[in-house]
Chains A and B, each alone.
Chain A
Amino acid sequence: MDLAQALLEGNRRALAQALTLVETGGSQARILLGALFAHTGRAHIVGVTGAPGAGKSTLVAALAAHWRRAGRTVGIIAVDPTSPFTRGAILGDRIRMQALSGDPGVFIRSMASRGRLGGIARATGDAIAVLDAAGFDVVLVETVGAGQGEVEIAAAAHTTIVIEIPGAGDDIQAIKAGILEIADLLVVNKADRNGAEQTVRQLRTMLSLADRPADGWTPPVLTAVATRGEGIEAIAAAAEQHLVYLRESGRFTGREQERAARELRLILQETALERVRALVPTSEWDALVAQIVARTLDPYAAANQLLDRALSH
Protein backbone atom coordinates (compact mmCIF):
# COMPACT_ATOMS: atom_id res chain seq x y z
CA MET A 1 0.00 0.00 0.00
CA ASP A 2 1.33 3.43 -1.00
CA LEU A 3 0.42 5.19 2.22
CA ALA A 4 2.27 2.66 4.39
CA GLN A 5 5.31 2.85 2.13
CA ALA A 6 5.39 6.66 2.15
CA LEU A 7 5.00 6.70 5.92
CA LEU A 8 7.83 4.23 6.42
CA GLU A 9 10.01 6.41 4.18
CA GLY A 10 9.43 9.35 6.51
CA ASN A 11 6.79 11.31 4.60
CA ARG A 12 5.06 13.43 7.24
CA ARG A 13 1.94 14.12 5.17
CA ALA A 14 1.49 10.37 4.72
CA LEU A 15 1.90 9.93 8.48
CA ALA A 16 -0.79 12.57 9.10
CA GLN A 17 -3.15 10.92 6.62
CA ALA A 18 -2.48 7.50 8.13
CA LEU A 19 -3.46 8.86 11.54
CA THR A 20 -6.71 10.20 10.08
CA LEU A 21 -7.40 6.84 8.51
CA VAL A 22 -6.92 4.83 11.71
CA GLU A 23 -8.97 7.39 13.62
CA THR A 24 -11.83 6.94 11.16
CA GLY A 25 -11.51 3.16 11.30
CA GLY A 26 -12.87 0.62 8.84
CA SER A 27 -11.32 -1.94 6.52
CA GLN A 28 -8.80 0.45 4.89
CA ALA A 29 -7.48 1.32 8.33
CA ARG A 30 -7.07 -2.35 9.19
CA ILE A 31 -5.19 -3.05 5.98
CA LEU A 32 -2.83 -0.15 6.75
CA LEU A 33 -2.28 -1.28 10.35
CA GLY A 34 -1.65 -4.80 9.12
CA ALA A 35 1.03 -3.51 6.75
CA LEU A 36 2.68 -1.44 9.50
CA PHE A 37 2.53 -4.06 12.23
CA ALA A 38 5.92 -5.64 11.51
CA HIS A 39 7.54 -2.21 11.98
CA THR A 40 6.06 -1.61 15.43
CA GLY A 41 7.39 -2.55 18.85
CA ARG A 42 10.42 -0.28 18.96
CA ALA A 43 9.18 2.89 20.63
CA HIS A 44 9.04 3.59 24.35
CA ILE A 45 5.39 4.47 24.93
CA VAL A 46 4.95 6.92 27.79
CA GLY A 47 1.49 7.97 29.01
CA VAL A 48 0.89 11.20 30.90
CA THR A 49 -2.33 11.63 32.83
CA GLY A 50 -3.78 13.82 35.58
CA ALA A 51 -6.56 16.25 36.36
CA PRO A 52 -7.47 19.14 34.00
CA GLY A 53 -5.01 21.96 34.56
CA ALA A 54 -2.45 19.77 36.32
CA GLY A 55 0.09 20.61 33.63
CA LYS A 56 0.01 17.58 31.35
CA SER A 57 0.63 19.45 28.08
CA THR A 58 3.40 21.53 29.59
CA LEU A 59 5.09 18.44 31.06
CA VAL A 60 4.74 16.54 27.78
CA ALA A 61 6.30 19.45 25.88
CA ALA A 62 9.16 19.71 28.40
CA LEU A 63 9.84 15.95 28.30
CA ALA A 64 9.77 16.00 24.50
CA ALA A 65 12.26 18.89 24.42
CA HIS A 66 14.49 16.99 26.87
CA TRP A 67 14.50 13.82 24.77
CA ARG A 68 15.13 15.85 21.60
CA ARG A 69 18.23 17.35 23.22
CA ALA A 70 19.31 13.79 23.95
CA GLY A 71 18.99 13.04 20.23
CA ARG A 72 15.80 10.98 20.38
CA THR A 73 12.78 11.58 18.14
CA VAL A 74 9.37 12.06 19.75
CA GLY A 75 5.81 11.48 18.55
CA ILE A 76 3.04 13.02 20.62
CA ILE A 77 -0.66 12.14 20.80
CA ALA A 78 -2.72 14.62 22.81
CA VAL A 79 -6.29 13.62 23.59
CA ASP A 80 -9.03 16.08 24.54
CA PRO A 81 -12.71 15.34 25.18
CA THR A 82 -15.46 15.25 22.57
CA SER A 83 -18.76 16.95 23.37
CA PRO A 84 -21.36 14.32 24.28
CA PHE A 85 -24.00 16.52 22.63
CA THR A 86 -22.58 17.76 19.35
CA ARG A 87 -19.62 15.41 18.62
CA GLY A 88 -17.51 18.58 18.41
CA ALA A 89 -14.31 19.19 20.35
CA ILE A 90 -11.76 21.87 21.15
CA LEU A 91 -8.29 20.38 20.97
CA GLY A 92 -6.04 22.87 22.73
CA ASP A 93 -2.98 20.93 23.79
CA ARG A 94 -0.74 22.34 21.05
CA ILE A 95 -0.90 25.77 22.70
CA ARG A 96 1.60 24.58 25.33
CA MET A 97 3.78 22.81 22.77
CA GLN A 98 4.75 25.77 20.57
CA ALA A 99 8.42 25.50 21.44
CA LEU A 100 8.57 22.16 19.60
CA SER A 101 7.38 23.74 16.34
CA GLY A 102 9.72 23.50 13.39
CA ASP A 103 11.56 20.43 14.69
CA PRO A 104 11.42 17.58 12.17
CA GLY A 105 12.18 15.14 14.99
CA VAL A 106 8.80 15.86 16.60
CA PHE A 107 5.30 15.07 15.36
CA ILE A 108 2.27 16.23 17.34
CA ARG A 109 -1.24 14.98 16.74
CA SER A 110 -4.35 16.12 18.61
CA MET A 111 -7.08 13.57 19.02
CA ALA A 112 -10.68 13.90 20.20
CA SER A 113 -11.91 11.20 22.58
CA ARG A 114 -14.95 10.58 20.32
CA GLY A 115 -17.19 9.21 23.00
CA ARG A 116 -14.72 6.95 24.82
CA LEU A 117 -14.69 7.49 28.56
CA GLY A 118 -11.42 5.89 29.64
CA GLY A 119 -9.26 8.98 29.06
CA ILE A 120 -8.06 8.06 25.57
CA ALA A 121 -9.85 7.54 22.25
CA ARG A 122 -10.78 4.18 20.71
CA ALA A 123 -8.12 4.72 18.07
CA THR A 124 -5.34 5.93 20.38
CA GLY A 125 -3.76 2.48 20.46
CA ASP A 126 -3.74 2.38 16.66
CA ALA A 127 -2.32 5.91 16.47
CA ILE A 128 0.48 4.83 18.81
CA ALA A 129 1.22 1.92 16.48
CA VAL A 130 1.38 4.29 13.50
CA LEU A 131 3.87 6.63 15.23
CA ASP A 132 5.86 3.61 16.42
CA ALA A 133 6.06 2.27 12.86
CA ALA A 134 7.06 5.73 11.61
CA GLY A 135 10.20 5.30 13.73
CA PHE A 136 9.77 7.67 16.67
CA ASP A 137 11.96 6.62 19.59
CA VAL A 138 9.47 7.83 22.18
CA VAL A 139 5.71 8.11 21.82
CA LEU A 140 4.18 10.41 24.45
CA VAL A 141 0.44 10.10 24.99
CA GLU A 142 -1.40 12.81 26.89
CA THR A 143 -4.84 11.74 28.12
CA VAL A 144 -7.91 13.92 28.56
CA GLY A 145 -8.05 15.69 31.90
CA ALA A 146 -8.61 12.69 34.12
CA GLY A 147 -10.52 12.27 37.35
CA GLN A 148 -10.29 9.07 39.32
CA GLY A 149 -11.32 6.39 36.89
CA GLU A 150 -9.71 7.14 33.53
CA VAL A 151 -7.18 4.35 33.61
CA GLU A 152 -7.09 3.02 30.05
CA ILE A 153 -3.76 4.68 29.34
CA ALA A 154 -2.01 2.12 31.54
CA ALA A 155 -2.93 -0.65 29.12
CA ALA A 156 -1.71 1.34 26.12
CA ALA A 157 1.61 2.64 27.54
CA HIS A 158 4.77 1.02 28.87
CA THR A 159 5.31 3.76 31.43
CA THR A 160 2.48 5.79 32.94
CA ILE A 161 3.15 9.14 34.58
CA VAL A 162 0.40 10.45 36.85
CA ILE A 163 0.53 14.17 37.65
CA GLU A 164 -0.83 15.54 40.89
CA ILE A 165 -0.87 19.13 42.07
CA PRO A 166 -0.51 20.42 45.64
CA GLY A 167 -3.58 20.63 47.81
CA ALA A 168 -5.88 18.44 45.75
CA GLY A 169 -7.14 16.13 48.47
CA ASP A 170 -6.50 14.42 51.78
CA ASP A 171 -4.70 11.16 52.45
CA ILE A 172 -7.83 9.07 51.90
CA GLN A 173 -7.99 10.37 48.31
CA ALA A 174 -4.49 8.99 47.97
CA ILE A 175 -5.46 5.41 48.87
CA LYS A 176 -8.62 5.27 46.75
CA ALA A 177 -8.66 2.82 43.89
CA GLY A 178 -8.18 4.14 40.39
CA ILE A 179 -5.78 6.50 38.75
CA LEU A 180 -3.06 6.48 41.43
CA GLU A 181 -2.81 2.72 41.12
CA ILE A 182 -1.74 2.90 37.49
CA ALA A 183 1.19 5.24 38.12
CA ASP A 184 4.68 4.00 37.36
CA LEU A 185 5.88 7.52 38.16
CA LEU A 186 4.12 10.09 40.30
CA VAL A 187 4.87 13.73 39.63
CA VAL A 188 3.80 16.58 41.89
CA ASN A 189 3.75 19.46 39.43
CA LYS A 190 3.51 23.16 40.35
CA ALA A 191 5.79 22.24 43.25
CA ASP A 192 6.52 25.92 43.90
CA ARG A 193 3.03 26.22 45.38
CA ASN A 194 2.07 25.86 49.02
CA GLY A 195 1.41 22.35 50.17
CA ALA A 196 3.70 20.59 47.68
CA GLU A 197 5.74 18.89 50.40
CA GLN A 198 2.61 17.65 52.10
CA THR A 199 1.29 16.21 48.83
CA VAL A 200 4.60 14.43 48.24
CA ARG A 201 4.46 13.05 51.79
CA GLN A 202 0.88 11.81 51.35
CA LEU A 203 1.74 10.06 48.11
CA ARG A 204 4.83 8.41 49.65
CA THR A 205 2.77 7.26 52.63
CA MET A 206 0.17 5.86 50.25
CA LEU A 207 2.87 3.93 48.42
CA SER A 208 4.38 2.62 51.66
CA LEU A 209 1.02 1.10 52.60
CA ALA A 210 1.05 -1.02 49.46
CA ASP A 211 2.00 -4.65 49.65
CA ARG A 212 4.55 -5.03 46.89
CA PRO A 213 6.69 -7.95 45.74
CA ALA A 214 10.37 -7.67 46.66
CA ASP A 215 11.53 -7.40 43.05
CA GLY A 216 8.75 -4.95 42.25
CA TRP A 217 8.90 -1.37 41.10
CA THR A 218 8.05 1.29 43.65
CA PRO A 219 6.84 4.36 41.78
CA PRO A 220 9.09 7.30 42.59
CA VAL A 221 7.38 10.51 43.71
CA LEU A 222 9.06 13.39 41.91
CA THR A 223 8.45 17.12 41.90
CA ALA A 224 8.40 19.51 38.98
CA VAL A 225 7.68 23.05 37.93
CA ALA A 226 7.06 22.13 34.30
CA THR A 227 6.62 25.72 33.09
CA ARG A 228 10.21 26.44 34.15
CA GLY A 229 11.57 23.05 33.12
CA GLU A 230 12.43 22.17 36.72
CA GLY A 231 12.51 18.48 37.58
CA ILE A 232 12.17 17.36 33.96
CA GLU A 233 15.55 15.64 33.76
CA ALA A 234 14.79 13.48 36.79
CA ILE A 235 11.37 12.53 35.40
CA ALA A 236 12.85 11.55 32.03
CA ALA A 237 15.55 9.53 33.79
CA ALA A 238 12.97 7.74 35.95
CA ALA A 239 10.86 6.91 32.87
CA GLU A 240 13.95 5.42 31.22
CA GLN A 241 14.78 3.45 34.37
CA HIS A 242 11.25 2.11 34.40
CA LEU A 243 11.67 0.76 30.88
CA VAL A 244 14.94 -0.91 31.93
CA TYR A 245 13.14 -2.38 34.94
CA LEU A 246 10.35 -3.73 32.71
CA ARG A 247 12.89 -5.41 30.43
CA GLU A 248 15.14 -6.84 33.14
CA SER A 249 12.35 -8.12 35.35
CA GLY A 250 10.56 -9.82 32.48
CA ARG A 251 7.53 -7.60 33.02
CA PHE A 252 7.96 -6.13 29.56
CA THR A 253 6.99 -9.42 27.96
CA GLY A 254 4.10 -9.71 30.39
CA ARG A 255 2.80 -6.27 29.50
CA GLU A 256 3.23 -6.95 25.81
CA GLN A 257 1.19 -10.13 26.21
CA GLU A 258 -1.55 -8.21 28.01
CA ARG A 259 -1.50 -5.54 25.35
CA ALA A 260 -1.64 -8.08 22.55
CA ALA A 261 -4.51 -9.98 24.19
CA ARG A 262 -6.46 -6.78 24.72
CA GLU A 263 -5.86 -5.64 21.15
CA LEU A 264 -6.95 -8.99 19.78
CA ARG A 265 -10.12 -8.89 21.85
CA LEU A 266 -11.01 -5.34 20.75
CA ILE A 267 -10.27 -6.01 17.11
CA LEU A 268 -12.24 -9.24 17.18
CA GLN A 269 -15.25 -7.47 18.67
CA GLU A 270 -15.09 -4.75 16.09
CA THR A 271 -14.51 -7.03 13.11
CA ALA A 272 -17.17 -9.51 14.19
CA LEU A 273 -19.71 -6.72 14.53
CA GLU A 274 -18.78 -5.29 11.16
CA ARG A 275 -19.02 -8.67 9.42
CA VAL A 276 -22.37 -9.47 10.96
CA ARG A 277 -23.69 -6.04 9.96
CA ALA A 278 -22.48 -6.56 6.41
CA LEU A 279 -24.26 -9.91 6.26
CA VAL A 280 -27.60 -8.80 7.64
CA PRO A 281 -29.82 -6.48 5.58
CA THR A 282 -30.84 -3.30 7.40
CA SER A 283 -34.50 -4.32 7.19
CA GLU A 284 -33.77 -7.55 9.06
CA TRP A 285 -31.64 -5.73 11.64
CA ASP A 286 -34.46 -3.22 12.19
CA ALA A 287 -36.97 -6.06 12.53
CA LEU A 288 -34.83 -7.68 15.26
CA VAL A 289 -34.53 -4.35 17.08
CA ALA A 290 -38.33 -3.94 16.87
CA GLN A 291 -38.83 -7.43 18.35
CA ILE A 292 -36.52 -6.56 21.23
CA VAL A 293 -38.41 -3.32 21.86
CA ALA A 294 -41.70 -5.28 21.80
CA ARG A 295 -40.18 -7.77 24.31
CA THR A 296 -40.89 -10.70 21.97
CA LEU A 297 -37.17 -11.40 21.64
CA ASP A 298 -34.38 -10.80 24.14
CA PRO A 299 -31.19 -9.07 22.95
CA TYR A 300 -28.96 -12.02 23.98
CA ALA A 301 -30.91 -14.45 21.83
CA ALA A 302 -30.92 -11.96 18.97
CA ALA A 303 -27.16 -11.55 19.15
CA ASN A 304 -26.64 -15.32 19.25
CA GLN A 305 -28.94 -15.78 16.30
CA LEU A 306 -26.92 -13.29 14.24
CA LEU A 307 -23.57 -14.76 15.28
CA ASP A 308 -24.65 -18.34 14.50
CA ARG A 309 -25.67 -17.21 11.05
CA ALA A 310 -22.40 -15.39 10.42
CA LEU A 311 -20.33 -18.35 11.64
CA SER A 312 -22.14 -20.86 9.44
CA HIS A 313 -21.82 -18.56 6.47
Chain B
Amino acid sequence: MDRPIRVLIAKPGLDGHDRGAKVIARALRDAGMEVIYTGIQQTPQMIVEAALQEDVDVIGLSILSGAHMTLLPRVMELLRHHGMHDVLVVAGGIISDEDARILKEQHGIAEVYGPGASTHEIVRFIQERCRTRN
Protein backbone atom coordinates (compact mmCIF):
# COMPACT_ATOMS: atom_id res chain seq x y z
CA MET B 1 0.00 0.00 0.00
CA ASP B 2 1.13 3.54 -0.72
CA ARG B 3 2.69 5.19 2.30
CA PRO B 4 4.79 8.33 2.67
CA ILE B 5 8.57 8.04 2.92
CA ARG B 6 9.62 8.55 6.55
CA VAL B 7 12.91 10.36 7.17
CA LEU B 8 14.76 11.04 10.41
CA ILE B 9 16.79 14.25 10.35
CA ALA B 10 19.38 14.44 13.12
CA LYS B 11 22.46 16.40 14.00
CA PRO B 12 25.14 14.25 15.62
CA GLY B 13 27.93 15.92 17.52
CA LEU B 14 28.33 19.12 19.40
CA ASP B 15 27.82 21.90 16.86
CA GLY B 16 24.61 23.82 17.28
CA HIS B 17 23.96 25.10 13.76
CA ASP B 18 20.83 23.47 12.48
CA ARG B 19 19.72 25.89 9.79
CA GLY B 20 20.90 23.53 7.05
CA ALA B 21 19.09 20.61 8.67
CA LYS B 22 15.90 22.68 8.88
CA VAL B 23 16.14 23.69 5.21
CA ILE B 24 16.45 20.02 4.23
CA ALA B 25 13.60 19.00 6.57
CA ARG B 26 11.36 21.61 5.00
CA ALA B 27 12.28 20.53 1.44
CA LEU B 28 11.55 16.88 2.24
CA ARG B 29 8.23 17.87 3.83
CA ASP B 30 7.31 19.80 0.69
CA ALA B 31 8.18 16.72 -1.35
CA GLY B 32 5.50 14.80 0.59
CA MET B 33 7.70 13.01 3.10
CA GLU B 34 7.14 12.63 6.84
CA VAL B 35 10.17 14.13 8.52
CA ILE B 36 10.99 13.33 12.12
CA TYR B 37 13.15 16.16 13.37
CA THR B 38 15.13 15.34 16.48
CA GLY B 39 17.25 18.43 16.93
CA ILE B 40 20.87 19.08 17.77
CA GLN B 41 23.58 17.30 19.75
CA GLN B 42 22.44 13.76 19.17
CA THR B 43 24.66 10.82 20.05
CA PRO B 44 24.82 7.91 17.57
CA GLN B 45 22.87 5.84 20.12
CA MET B 46 20.07 8.41 20.31
CA ILE B 47 19.90 8.61 16.51
CA VAL B 48 19.68 4.88 15.97
CA GLU B 49 17.18 4.44 18.79
CA ALA B 50 14.93 7.13 17.30
CA ALA B 51 15.28 5.61 13.81
CA LEU B 52 14.27 2.22 15.19
CA GLN B 53 11.24 3.50 17.10
CA GLU B 54 10.09 5.62 14.17
CA ASP B 55 10.70 2.80 11.64
CA VAL B 56 12.14 5.26 9.14
CA ASP B 57 13.16 4.54 5.55
CA VAL B 58 15.90 7.17 5.55
CA ILE B 59 18.25 8.86 8.01
CA GLY B 60 19.68 12.26 7.09
CA LEU B 61 22.65 13.35 9.19
CA SER B 62 23.85 16.92 9.22
CA ILE B 63 27.31 17.40 10.67
CA LEU B 64 29.50 20.47 10.69
CA SER B 65 31.70 19.82 13.69
CA GLY B 66 34.42 17.87 11.89
CA ALA B 67 33.78 14.72 13.90
CA HIS B 68 32.10 12.91 11.00
CA MET B 69 34.76 10.20 10.68
CA THR B 70 34.03 9.09 14.25
CA LEU B 71 30.29 9.66 14.53
CA LEU B 72 29.00 8.52 11.14
CA PRO B 73 30.74 5.09 11.13
CA ARG B 74 29.39 4.60 14.67
CA VAL B 75 25.83 5.26 13.48
CA MET B 76 26.29 2.71 10.67
CA GLU B 77 27.72 0.16 13.08
CA LEU B 78 24.75 0.54 15.45
CA LEU B 79 22.29 0.24 12.57
CA ARG B 80 23.90 -3.04 11.50
CA HIS B 81 23.85 -4.20 15.11
CA HIS B 82 20.06 -3.72 15.18
CA GLY B 83 19.59 -5.43 11.83
CA MET B 84 18.52 -2.20 10.17
CA HIS B 85 20.39 -2.86 6.92
CA ASP B 86 17.60 -1.50 4.76
CA VAL B 87 17.73 2.06 6.11
CA LEU B 88 19.16 4.55 3.62
CA VAL B 89 21.66 6.92 5.26
CA VAL B 90 22.71 10.21 3.71
CA ALA B 91 24.99 12.84 5.21
CA GLY B 92 25.47 16.53 4.67
CA GLY B 93 28.01 19.01 5.96
CA ILE B 94 31.61 20.05 5.55
CA ILE B 95 33.15 16.72 4.55
CA SER B 96 36.21 16.41 2.31
CA ASP B 97 36.02 14.36 -0.90
CA GLU B 98 38.41 11.82 0.53
CA ASP B 99 36.36 11.40 3.72
CA ALA B 100 33.17 11.19 1.65
CA ARG B 101 34.69 8.40 -0.45
CA ILE B 102 35.65 6.41 2.67
CA LEU B 103 32.24 6.96 4.27
CA LYS B 104 30.53 5.66 1.15
CA GLU B 105 32.83 2.81 0.23
CA GLN B 106 33.76 1.49 3.66
CA HIS B 107 30.85 2.43 5.88
CA GLY B 108 27.80 2.25 3.66
CA ILE B 109 26.69 5.89 3.71
CA ALA B 110 24.61 6.17 0.52
CA GLU B 111 25.49 9.74 -0.38
CA VAL B 112 27.38 12.72 1.02
CA TYR B 113 26.35 16.32 0.25
CA GLY B 114 28.47 19.43 0.61
CA PRO B 115 27.34 22.98 1.40
CA GLY B 116 26.50 23.70 -2.27
CA ALA B 117 24.14 20.76 -2.79
CA SER B 118 20.65 21.58 -4.02
CA THR B 119 17.66 20.38 -2.04
CA HIS B 120 16.11 19.15 -5.31
CA GLU B 121 19.03 16.85 -5.85
CA ILE B 122 18.68 15.39 -2.34
CA VAL B 123 14.90 14.96 -2.66
CA ARG B 124 15.29 13.22 -6.02
CA PHE B 125 17.98 10.88 -4.72
CA ILE B 126 15.83 9.81 -1.75
CA GLN B 127 12.73 9.35 -3.89
CA GLU B 128 14.58 7.22 -6.41
CA ARG B 129 16.24 5.05 -3.80
CA CYS B 130 13.00 4.56 -1.88
CA ARG B 131 10.92 3.71 -4.92
CA THR B 132 12.01 0.08 -4.82
CA ARG B 133 11.12 -0.50 -1.16
CA ASN B 134 8.08 -2.60 -0.35
B-binding residues in A (CB < 8 A): 12-13, 16-17, 19-20, 23-26, 82-83, 86-92, 94-95, 98, 101-102, 107-110, 112
Q: Which residues of B contact A82 (CB under 8 A)?
A: 34
Q: What is the CB-to-nearest-CB distance from B32 to chain A, in angstroms, rounded to a whole number? A: 5
Taking a contact as CB atoms under 8 Å apart, the answer to whether B34 and A95 are in contact is no
| A101-B45, A108-B50 known, 8 other contacts, Cβ within 8 Å | A13-B52, A13-B82, A16-B52, A86-B30, A88-B31, A90-B35, A94-B37, A101-B46
Residues in B with CB closer than 8 Å to A92 are: 36-37, 39
Please give, as numbers and ranges, the residues of chain B lying within 8 Å of A17 by CB-CB distance: 55
Q: Are B83 and A102 in contact (CB under 8 A)?
A: no
- Bound form: Cα–Cα A102–B53 in Å: 11
Whether a CB of chain A sits under 8 angstroms from the CB of B29 is yes
What's the Cα separation between A267 and B15 when bound, in Å? 48
Q: Evaluate contact between B49 and A109: CB separation under 8 angstroms.
A: no
Q: Which of B3, B50, B53 contacts A23 (CB 8 A)?
A: B3
Main secondary structure of the interface of B (DSSP, over half): mixed
Question: Which of the residues B4, B25, B30, B46 comes within 8 Å of A112, measured between beta carbons?
Answer: B4
Contacts of B31 in A (CB 8 A): 86, 88
The number of inter-chain residue pairs (CB within 8 angstroms) is 82
Return the contact of B32 from the options A88, A98, A110 (Cβ within 8 A). Answer: A88
Q: How large is the interface on B (under 10, 10 to 19, 20 to 34, 35 or more residues)?
A: 20 to 34
In terms of DSSP, what is the predominant structure of the interface of chain A?
Answer: mixed
Distance between A73 CB and nearest chain B CB, rounded to angstroms: 14
Please name the residue on chain A nearest to B50 by beta carbon.
A94
CB distance from A185 to the nearest CB of B (A): 27
Inter-chain CA distance A101–B48, complex, in Å, is 11
User: Residues of A contacting B33 with CB < 8 Å?
Assistant: 88
A184 to chain B, nearest CB (A): 28
Write the nearest CB–CB distance from A15 to chain B, whole angstroms: 8
